[in-house]
Structure 1
Amino acid sequence: MENHIPNIINEMMSTTAVYDEHSLTVEEVLNLPDFAGFKLLGGSSGLQNRCKHITILETPEGISWLTGGEFLLTAGYALKDREDKKSSMILDAHQRKVSAVAVKENRYFGEISKQLIDDANTYGVPLIEISRNVIYTEAISSFYNMLFYRKNEYILNLNNIYAKLLDLSFENKDVNGIIYSLSNLSNSNVFLCDRYLNPITYNIIDSSSYDKLANKIPFSKKGAPAVKEIKDYCINKEIMGVYISIYPLVRDNKPLGYVYIVNSSKLDKLAQSSIEYGISIISMKLDIDQARSFSQARLNKTLIEIMLNNKELPDEFYENVEKDLGWDREGHIVGICIKIHIKKDTHIDECKNSVYSVLNNILEKGNYLSKDKKNEVFVFTNIEARAHLEEVVSKIVASLQDYDDAYLVAVGISNVYKRIKNIEKMYNEAYLAALFSNHDSIYFNSLDTIKLLYPLKDDNEVHEYYNRTIRKLEKYDEDQGTNLLETVECYLRYNFNRKIAASKLFIHVETLRYRLNRIEEITGYSLNDTEGIFALQMGLKLKKLIKIK
């Protein structure tokens, strides 16, 4: 697919027309390979409409949410029983300044009426019929790849021999391949780090110069922060007998990451040229990956919410989702909930972006569905063998722990299922498991008592039991400004060891004893006998269950 894009751009460059770098015409979109075989049914006067985004429409009210400049894709599922919405689709699209509407043939939309075609001609909104085999994710990726290359056409204007040599070195390589080529061309150790200075990939040419910094951040998460303090652009800065050059990667005034060059000697001009050109390619690739992630996330969220909120979807719908993801082969589908706990002044969106970066590095790109909600990221992926699940989860947890200076995570893992049709079970199980995770990973099938109690979370007796135990402490803390609930949780967590519990609570042991006596007075349950311990432990578990909603 990507091989076609440079050819299309070269054709654009051979003309004298001036192109808007922030959009594509409808005609240019239809010339992408993914739309081969399209039929233009009406609205040919709008083929030069500008498309800023490509958007999937699978909700009846979706057009009202648009802001203009969208190339709209739909299979018509959400409109199949809404003739009112279907008949006014082109008029609604025109009023929202939609650039074009493409409908999958022989799916849910049904026959495209003469009225819709007439409206398309009247309002200049191209109405297109596309093959039912068009895969949304690939079409969206093609669009944003093309749009991104449009924004960066200046790179293709490099016409000196050295740039052509670099083109040959970097052509068709991913970020790992570019770092490898960059390292060899400049004869340097090259490290690519994310915005938190966690290594993404690297290539070491001269181990002796690397060894001198092996215990320094970002080359190690341990050791003195001598390197971490240096994030600004610099060339040939000497540290501990080696030379470091730092290139911040920035797009739209937002940091994407950093490239560190470590060498035993200073970079010469030729090496600097290689690196600077390579870094422009890396930034471009990272931007493409981000565009793909955004488009994929948008599609994923739509798919997941359709499956979670509609109980009567046909089996064909689930089969198509599995086929598009390549999950129709033998495998095991699992849900993972990653709950984010921010430690300092970090925006939650930045945290989520780093989580998605980890997922893209560990899971096969395009082989998972995801959605985020407040401070949680939900992932549904296909694992070839159950034995691999623990390995994948361990890698995710270990990678996310690299961000522990910004946030902590609790990871919950659902049971394994054969079909994506069980997505609601996976969602609930992963979420419930994450609630009981202590900043590590926990599997739903290990919850034992909680797993048995979960179906009873709405039962009146469960709420009454909670009210008789833990709710009394919560109410007392709210009224008196005390910390009795935190005290009982800490005391139980550290196995009734008063010395350790008092230390963790930053209070004297005698203060702890006083608080435990107050807990008994308020709840009627003593932490000195098994019945009281069981009652309060169960109350804490029920508290988490009740709070799930």
Structure 2
Amino acid sequence: MDEGWRLRVLAVAERGARAVAASAVAVPSPRAADGAAAEVVVVVPGADDTAAGRAAEAVLRELQAGLPGHSFAVGRSRVAGAPEELHRAGNEALLAANVAEGDTDRPLLAFDDTGAYRLLLPAMSEDPAELQRFYAETVEPLVAYDDQYETDLVQTVEAFLEADGNVAGTAQRLFTHRHTIRYRLERVRELSGLDMGSTDGREKLSLGLKAMRVLGIAHRGGPATEAGAGGGRVPRR
């Protein structure tokens, strides 16, 4: 994010928050110093969680209206009752925003609504390298493969987990044939070493997907273009 764009996002976000809380302020994320993090922090004074929720909604509306053509994810922390709690609140908001970024149906997410992702907050805050290692051991090979061949292995894993391990249900969700799903799941096993047919394999890949979201790792994927990839089976190189 270049400086001009960052200042523009800051101004728009602050304008949205101040529509609800006049003393709200938007500041660059501490992570912005690395030049890569496209994040801003909005601080809303007060202990009213309902008002904070309205402010977050106003920020998202203002960003979408003021900067059309771009997508945004807004995460909201629990109330920080003292200055020493601001670091915790910032991590909660970041986790919620990262999870929201992976869910196009929920661009605004409160930390309290992140479900099992909340369990990964200590790892994200205290030992992100370990979280990164777990992601690398589970889902990263699938992400790399999807990016290289424009396949949908990660999406297939997500749909399979949502369908409680049912191939037919997964095929319905993805509007594809059951044989295609089986081919893709076999490819997942070959790439990750994890069998989606086993409880252990499903648990590890589910946690790997959560680690990917919490770490804010974007996943592209897309329609397969390489010969054979349409069925999820691409020849090894």
Higher share of residues assigned strand: 1
Query: How large is the Cα RMSD of the aligned pairs?
Result: 3.5
1:523 counterpart residue number = 192
1:188 counterpart residue number = none
Gap change, CA 1:450 and 1:516, over 3 Å in 2: same
Is 2:208 the counterpart of 1:539?
yes
1:444 counterpart residue number = 111
Gap change, CA 1:382 and 1:500, over 3 Å in 2: farther
The one-letter code of the counterpart of 2:191 is: I
Task: Give the distance between the partners of 2:177 and 2:66, measured in 1 at CA.
Answer: 34
Task: Give the distance between the partners of 1:470 and 1:394, measured in 2 at CA.
Answer: 32
1:370 counterpart residue number = 26
Q: Is the 8 A contact 2:75 2:94 kept in 1?
A: yes
Q: What's the CA shift for 1:524?
A: 3.2
Gaps of 5+ in 1: 1-339, 341-346
Q: Is the 8 A contact 1:432 1:444 kept in 2?
A: yes
The one-letter code of the counterpart of 1:360 is: R
Q: Is the 8 A contact 2:19 2:58 kept in 1?
A: no
Per-residue displacement from partner, 1:370-420 (whole Å, max 9, x unpaired)? 213453221111135334333433444455454684223211111212223
* Aligned with residue 411 of structure 1, among 47, 70, 74: 74
Per-residue displacement from partner, 1:331-373 (whole Å, max 9, x unpaired)? xxxxxxxxx9xxxxxx665555433332232321xx1232134
2:183 counterpart residue number = 514
Task: Give the distance between the partners of 1:359 and 1:385, measured in 2 at CA.
Answer: 14
TM-score by length of 1: 0.31
Gaps of 5+ in 2: 218-237
Q: More relative contact order in 1 or in 2 (CA 8 Å, sep 6+)?
A: 2
Gap change, CA 1:357 and 1:395, over 3 Å in 2: closer
Q: What's the CA shift for 1:531?
A: 3.1
Gap change, CA 1:431 and 1:359, over 3 Å in 2: same
1:343 counterpart residue number = none
1:359 counterpart residue number = 17
Task: Give the distance between the partners of 1:547 and 1:353, measured in 2 at CA.
Answer: 24
* Aligned with residue 498 of structure 1, among 152, 155, 170: 170
The one-letter code of the counterpart of 2:69 is: A
Residue identity over aligned pairs, in percent, reads 25
Per-residue displacement from partner, 1:33-89 (whole Å, max 9, x unpaired)? xxxxxxxxxxxxxxxxxxxxxxxxxxxxxxxxxxxxxxxxxxxxxxxxxxxxxxxxx
Residues paired across the two proteins, number: 198
Q: Is the 8 A contact 2:156 2:184 kept in 1?
A: yes
The one-letter code of the counterpart of 1:356 is: E
Q: Is the 8 A contact 2:77 2:92 kept in 1?
A: yes
Helix, strand or coil at the partner of 1:409: coil
Task: Give the distance between the partners of 2:57 and 2:143, measured in 1 at CA.
Answer: 35
Task: Give the distance between the partners of 1:387 and 1:450, measured in 2 at CA.
Answer: 22
Task: Give the distance between the partners of 2:128 and 2:21, measured in 1 at CA.
Answer: 39
2:227 counterpart residue number = none
Per-residue displacement from partner, 1:127-178 (whole Å, max 9, x unpaired)? xxxxxxxxxxxxxxxxxxxxxxxxxxxxxxxxxxxxxxxxxxxxxxxxxxxx
Task: Give the distance between the partners of 1:470 and 1:513, measured in 2 at CA.
Answer: 18
Higher share of residues assigned helix: 2
Task: Give the distance between the partners of 2:73 and 2:148, measured in 1 at CA.
Answer: 30
Per-residue displacement from partner, 1:394-453 (whole Å, max 9, x unpaired)? 444455454684223211111212223432222222111110113432222333433333
Gap change, CA 1:354 and 1:395, over 3 Å in 2: closer
Task: Give the distance between the partners of 2:215 and 2:56, measured in 1 at CA.
Answer: 27
Task: Give the distance between the partners of 2:185 and 2:163, measured in 1 at CA.
Answer: 14
Task: Give the distance between the partners of 1:441 and 1:529, measured in 2 at CA.
Answer: 34
Task: Give the distance between the partners of 1:459 and 1:395, measured in 2 at CA.
Answer: 31
Q: Which moved more, 1:471-480 or 1:515-524?
A: 471-480
Per-residue displacement from partner, 1:485-536 (whole Å, max 9, x unpaired)? 3432354457663244324xxx655433321221123223333444332221
* Aligned with residue 471 of structure 1, among 140, 145, 148: 140
The one-letter code of the counterpart of 1:369 is: V
Task: Give the distance between the partners of 2:9 and 2:118, measured in 1 at CA.
Answer: 30
Task: Give the distance between the partners of 2:129 and 2:12, measured in 1 at CA.
Answer: 41
Q: Is the 8 A contact 2:27 2:42 kept in 1?
A: yes
